[in-house]
Amino acid sequence: MNARAIQLVALVVLVICTVVSGAMLGPITRQTERSGLRYTDVSVEGAPPFVALGTAIGALRGLIVDILWIKVNYMKERGLFYEVMADAELITKLQPRFAAVWAFHGHNMAYNISVATQTMEERWEWVNAGIRLVRGDGLRHNPNNLVLHKELAFWFAHKIEGYADDAHLFYKRQFCEEWHDVLGPPPEEQAARVAWIRAIADAPDTLAEAERETPGVRALIDRLNESVTPFGDSLRFEPNIQFLRQYGVWRSVKEQSAAAEVLGLEKQFATESPFFKAFDEIAGDPDATEAWDVLVRYVRRRVLIDDYNMDPVLMADLTEDLGPVDWRHGQAHALYWSTRGSMYGEPRTARQNDIYNIVNNDRLRLQAMQDLARYGRITFDPFSSELPSRFSEPRWIPAIEKLFIELYQKHYGTRGAGGDTFIAFLENFMSSAICEAFRSGEFERAEELMAMLDEKFGTGAQVPNRKYQIPLDVFVVNQSKGEYIFQPHLAPRDTVASLRYGFREGVGRDREEVYENTVEFVEQLIAYFKGNEYNDYVSRFGEARMGALLADLEKTRVRAFLQLMTDPTISLNERSTIWGKVDKFEPTLRLEVYDQIGPSLARQFAQHELSQKYAFAEIFPEPPGMDIYRRQRALQRQAEEQATDQKPRDTLERK
């Protein structure tokens, strides 16, 4: 065969192969999409020409994504965070299953761009946008990716529930308010809370199913729309998140908000809001109670799935299996996403032999539950200017022990991050919980925790020991002293924290034994440091460190009360209650702090809804005998100043 014939045959083969490969490209692309591979066969709207061309060709998409990824990282290193947005979005559209870019894109919005804005509202919008991006599109395209779950859980734990961002208090309030509208406040009792969230999980999946289950659900929506039609054609009720927000406002005003009552908001909303009037007429209709309950549960279920990409069944399972989850708390969402990552992302990650992502995700689960135990109980009034109040929730402790056992066994053989990591976590957490319970007067709970600790790490340990076979008060003293020997600066912090709890639980709730126990702890601590052999130590710079610490401790009661009364994270109602009762426990404390807290407290009060109905002196009255106390303090200061002036003169005379 001559050369020309060979060329003709090769040309025919080339044409046939090109035609066949072109015909196969579409089915192959569709199969990769169905199989969860990375590529997309859809051109990205508004993309540069080379991107559109690469998408059409198919084979060049990977190269284009590599180029864009290099460019994105280069711009990030130069701090061009806004400029990164467009290219990162292109990558997610070209390769929606490139999980690392979703994580990068969300982090850039939640961390880098948010802190470059000028207002807290802007910051929150960018933080929320990063969370929505990964929670929604990112995890819908990559439902089994552990790293995305872990990153999302970390953002809830660190960005919202942490303290590193200057706007963290604003984030906490906005997040709490959002979920207060979506789900409402949960029932207090655990059995009722489980039934409440399980009812949402079991709600009908469609409006048609809701109507079949309870005839009259559609009629409720029609009635709602008919009631607002006279106010404009654009006003309509749809079973979506806006419906829940409008319903949340109505329910808070009618049933939950003390601030709304003080401000007279019910009358105002009834006059000005067509939606509020519609809820008044229909949600309050006793004949519609059953259908209304089904409608609300159906909408909540759909909003959780459609708007938040969350599984109501898993939410109910977590509440039933672990503890009293309050979904208004950011750590509840950190727990949800880290748990979901463990369930669906871990098998794939294990195949990739990336055990340390699994370990870090499991640590997030434990840390979320630890924080929920420490401050997982929330009280919140959406119409108050105050921040959500948070309290300890000891009902989480048994769940933490249960998860510890699971994770200890799971990671026992993991090199560098094995069972010893989780042993240290649980032992430290349980020891801390025992001390907190004891100082708070919860002696029975402290004994129970002590028994659990002994079972795991004492007489029930693999190598039995009697470390925890000692009286409870001795254990607490030893634990505290062990910390203070090496970190004495922790003593003032612990005494303030203990006294704050004593004021809130002991004084505010008339639990005299709680407050007496916290005072006893402070006095024991002062006695310990007075007898410390290093009490007279003076540094080479002339600093009497232990003496200064001791003086600090002796002022702790006043300082703790002063901090408590000016703390904006504690409601004015609670502070007012404590203010009115504290004389029974500490007769001179109000006298000592009144002039110091007055200006700050008055400013907070002026911005609060209570100021529209009451005078400051009615809520925080001046304590009796204040004038006499002021005169005595003036004479005391005068005597101190004279004594100070006399010292230099005495020194000169001796010389």
Q: How does pLDDT run across 169-184, given as a tens digit for each residue? A: 899 999 999 999 999 9
Within its chain, how far is the Cα of 466 from the centroid? Answer: 38
For residues 376 and 389, give the distance between their C-alpha atoms in angstroms, rounded to a whole number: 10
Q: Does residue 232 carry a pLDDT above 70?
A: no
What's the pLDDT score for residue 369?
Answer: 92
For residues 418 and 195, give the distance between their C-alpha atoms in angstroms, rounded to a whole number: 37
What kind and span of H or E run contains 377?
strand 377-379
CB atoms within 10 A of CB 204: 19
Report, as an integer, the average pLDDT of 105-111: 87
Confidence of residue 193 (pLDDT cuts 50, 70, 90): very high
* Range from 59-68, 93-102, 316-325, 372-381 carrying the lowest mean pLDDT: 59-68
For residues 358 and 147, give the distance between their C-alpha atoms in angstroms, rounded to a whole number: 9
Confidence of residue 46 (pLDDT cuts 50, 70, 90): very low
Question: CA torsion, points 234, 238, 240, 246, in degrees to nearest 10?
Answer: 70
pLDDT tens for 248-296 read 999 888 887 877 877 788 888 888 888 888 888 888 788 888 999 999 9
Tokens 């100070």: give the residue: 644
What's the pLDDT score for residue 40?
Answer: 42
Q: Does residue 109 carry a pLDDT above 70?
A: yes
Q: Which residues are registered as beta bridge partners of 428?
A: none
Confidence of residue 351 (pLDDT cuts 50, 70, 90): low
Tokens coding 105? 């894109």
More confident: 464 or 198: 198
Most confident range, picked from 109-113, 299-303, 495-499, 603-607: 299-303
More confident: 518 or 138: 138
What's the pLDDT score for residue 278?
Answer: 85
What's the pLDDT score for residue 401?
Answer: 78
Report, as an integer, the average pLDDT of 83-104: 78
Within its chain, how far is the Cα of 641 from the centroid? Answer: 49
Measured CA to CA in angstroms, residue 622 lies from 465, 591, 595, 633 at distances of: 56, 8, 9, 16
CA angle (520 as vertex; 401, 436 as ends), nearest 5 = 15
pLDDT tens for 88-98 read 777 777 778 78
What's the pLDDT score for residue 54?
Answer: 44
Measured CA to CA in angstroms, residue 355 lies from 151, 163, 237, 351, 621 at distances of: 16, 29, 48, 9, 60
What's the pLDDT score for residue 479?
Answer: 78
What's the pLDDT score for residue 429?
Answer: 78
What's the pLDDT score for residue 79?
Answer: 72
Q: Does residue 539 carry a pLDDT above 90?
A: no
CB atoms within 10 A of CB 125: 16
Confidence of residue 61 (pLDDT cuts 50, 70, 90): low
For residues 619 and 500, give the distance between their C-alpha atoms in angstroms, rounded to a whole number: 20
Confidence of residue 544 (pLDDT cuts 50, 70, 90): very low
Confidence of residue 229 (pLDDT cuts 50, 70, 90): low
Q: Does residue 545 carry a pLDDT above 50?
A: no
Write down the architecture of domain 36-142 according to CATH: Alpha Horseshoe (1.25)
What's the pLDDT score for residue 520?
Answer: 81
Within its chain, how far is the Cα of 636 from the centroid? Answer: 47
* Range from 17-26, 172-181, 593-602 carrying the lowest mean pLDDT: 17-26
Q: Do 447 and 472 meet the contact criterion of CB atoms below 8 Å apart?
A: yes
What kind and span of H or E run contains 389?
strand 389-391
Q: Does residue 375 carry a pLDDT above 70?
A: yes
Confidence of residue 44 (pLDDT cuts 50, 70, 90): very low
pTM over the 0.85 mark: no
More confident: 23 or 603: 603
Report, as an integer, the average pLDDT of 566-575: 85
Q: Do 576 and 620 meet the contact criterion of CB atoms below 8 Å apart?
A: yes
What's the pLDDT score for residue 25?
Answer: 57
Parse the chain into domains and list their residue ranges. 1-35, 36-142, 492-621, 625-655
DSSP state of 378: E
What's the pLDDT score for residue 196?
Answer: 96
More confident: 49 or 352: 352
DSSP state of 539: -
More confident: 334 or 553: 334
What's the pLDDT score for residue 417?
Answer: 57
What's the pLDDT score for residue 481?
Answer: 67
Tokens 């463990």: give the residue: 342
Report, as an integer, the average pLDDT of 203-232: 86
Report, as an integer, the average pLDDT of 33-61: 46
What's the pLDDT score for residue 374?
Answer: 82
315-331 b/e (C-beta count within 10 Å ≥ 16 → b): bbbbbbebbbbbbbbbb
Cα atoms in the 13 Å half-sphere on the side-chain side of 203 = 28
What's the pLDDT score for residue 484?
Answer: 65
What's the pLDDT score for residue 38?
Answer: 43
Which class for 548: exposed (0-12), middle (13-18), buried (19 or more C-beta within 10 A)?
Answer: exposed
DSSP state of 458: S
Q: Does residue 513 carry a pLDDT above 80?
A: yes
What's the pLDDT score for residue 486?
Answer: 61
What's the pLDDT score for residue 542?
Answer: 37
What's the pLDDT score for residue 47?
Answer: 44
Helix, strand, or coil (residue 469): coil
Q: Do 514 and 525 meet the contact criterion of CB atoms below 8 Å apart?
A: no
Helix, strand, or coil (residue 550): helix
